[in-house]
Amino acid sequence: MSQTLSRVRLGLWAAVLVAAVAATILFVVAPPKSGGGIGGGTYALVDQRGDPIDQTMLVGHPSLLFFGYTHCPDVCPTTMGEMAGWFETLGTDVGTLKAYFVTVDPTRDTPEMLNDYVSWVSDRITGVTGDPAQIDRIVKAWAVLAEKVPGASTATTP
């Protein structure tokens, strides 16, 4: 029984070694492209004050990034409240942590609307919007699923 366990263990270590060598070769032959992958890409957006921001908003500090919309009835306000709670819980340990609420409904979520929405939660959360093409770019860059679904009223929700 002990020899069988030793053989299985040796086989598993050999598989780990083969996977590590294969990953290293893959990295050398086809290194990751800069700006690719989740969050990669470029986009020109504005914050809730109308000030321009881009992908560099996430550089140089840890960040919380939440995609939602101001007409969201439940998940968005709950998550925003949780984010504010995290900041409160961290207190002085928050350091340089920043939080961003990125709308997926730029047609309705103007900078003014976002300012009203994020300011009731926390001054530590920045609202982000832009023209629909730019929002589509950041949504695609972060692999977010967002789509408008016709509702019972004249409004639609992403």
In sequence order, which residues have a C-beta less than 8 Å from that of residue 68 and are 6 or more positions away? 75, 76, 79, 80, 101, 102, 103, 104
Between 11 and 80, residue with greater pLDDT: 80
CA distance 129 to 153: 24
pLDDT of residue 73: 85
In sequence order, which residues have a C-beta less than 8 Å from that of residue 37 and are 6 or more positions away? none
The dihedrals phi and psi of 22, each to the nearest 5 degrees, come to -65, -40
DSSP-H helix ranges across the chain: 2-29, 75-90, 111-119, 132-141
- The CATH class for the domain spanning 44-157 reads alpha beta
DSSP state, residue 91: G
C-beta separation of 20 from 13 below 8 A: no
pLDDT of residue 105: 94
**pLDDT tens digit sequence for 45-93:** 999 999 999 888 888 888 889 999 999 888 888 888 888 888 888 888 8
Whole-number CA gyration radius for the chain: 22
Between 32 and 30, residue with greater pLDDT: 30
Take residue 34 and report the two structure tokens written for it.
Answer: 């800069």
**pLDDT tens digit sequence for 87-137:** 888 888 888 888 899 999 999 999 999 999 998 888 888 999 999 999 999
Segments making up each domain of the chain, as ranges: 1-31, 44-157
